[in-house]
Amino acid sequence: MKSLKRIGILTGGGDCPGLNAVIRSVAKPAMTYFGATVLGVEDGFEGLVEGRIRELTKRDVSGIVNLGGTILGTSNKGDPFHFPVETEKGIEVQDCSERAMQHFRDWNLDAMVAIGGDGTMHIVDKFTDLGFPFIGVPKTIDNDLSSTDVTFGYDSALSVATEAIDRLHTTASAHHRVMVIEVMGRYAGWIALGSGLAGGADVILIPEIPFHWEKVFEYVMERSSHGGRFSIVCVAEGAKPADGELVVQEKDSKRTDPIRLGGIGDLVSRKITEATGLETRVTVLGHLQRGGSPTPYDRILATKFGSMALQLASEGKFGHMVSLRGTEVVPVPVKQAILKLRTVPADSQLVLAARAVGTCFGD
């Protein structure tokens, strides 16, 4: 067992429900069983670069398992190897990893638990290669990290999106409209597929299955002509037509991935109206999917992840990410976890089940 006297925790990337549950399940046993000092880095890797840290007490981490967001703050623009710095010429992206490493040394940390998604795990991998003791905990509502069956945050986002579709059913039925709902997920369609299937969406459009406009138009028109007085279209933000490109809302050079997706819902809504004459409305869920309290499933998963991360740190198994395999939480090398994004297989049982009940994917 490795001596753990000073443990750091940070939350990187976008927020999601369950982050505080992980912080709690690392900090409380670290204090109780190791007598360790637990230090929280403020605002993710941005705080690591800028040297912002504070000691956490048992009071800080009590009663937070049900809270959304993160008590430490987070940032998706704080990659130390791709860090935006204000200069006389304006904002320049620089490699500030040495500043981050010096702060790590100055704080005399025995381990750092980094909670985040794909971008965070890439940073963890780089610091591990440089000899720093990092453990990764996978979180993302997008559920797109490979080497784990599921990430915490996904179930909570799925619950929000499904409830939204349920609510749209009533207004779509009352007004006999086509209702388009755009959900998050980036380059993976897990949220759209899961919520669309659970909410009974008639059309589900995901990045993994490029769609044809005519197929979508024909499907909603056929429903309309055969007594289906409304249709629900659930579209992932990364969905794209077979003959088109991703719809990009903006590009931000300060981010490691500069592309900010968004707008496909408006495009689908407009195209359906123009091609079919059916009255169409669009709802973009946006950050509603990231907020609020975590579901019981995510609270439990996050707690299991955090306690396993502390165990790995105590065993000196750095450079690993905790992972759910079946019902067990196990360690996997971070390098293995970042080899590829976890996207929806075309032959996924979720896809086959949706097709079986008549869902259109536009292909």
Q: Which residues of 119-137 are buried (b: 16+ CB within 10 A; e: fewer)?
A: bbbbbbbbbbeeebbbbbb
63 burial (CB, 10 Å; 0-12 / 13-18 / 19+) is exposed
Tell me whether residue 142 is one of the annotated catalytic residues. yes
CA quadruple 229, 235, 239, 240: dihedral sign: positive
Element (H, E) at 234: strand 231-236
The DSSP secondary-structure symbol of 182 reads: E
- Token digits of residue 353: 């089940």
Catalytic residue among 110, 125, 142, 202: 142
What percent helix, strand, coil does the chain show, rounded to 5?
40, 25, 40
Q: Which of 151, 119, 143 is nearest to 206 (CA)?
A: 143
The dihedral through the CA atoms of 295, 301, 307, 309 has a sign that is: negative
Looking at 243-351, which runs of residues are DSSP E strands? 248-251, 259-261, 280-284, 320-325, 328-333
Q: β-strand 248-251 against 259-261: which pairing, if any?
A: antiparallel
Buried b (16+ CB within 10 A) or exposed e, 166-192: eebbeebeeeebbbbbbbbbbbbbbbb
| Cβ 24 vs Cβ 65: under 8 Å | yes
* Distance in angstroms (rounded) separating the CA atoms of residues 98 and 359: 51
Give the rounded distance of the alpha carbon of 67 from its chain centre. Answer: 17
Q: Where are the beta strands (DSSP E) in 13-172?
A: 37-41, 53-56, 83-87, 90-94, 111-116, 134-138
Cα–Cα distance measured from residue 22 to residue 205, given in angstroms and rounded to the nearest whole number = 32
Catalytic residue numbers? 142
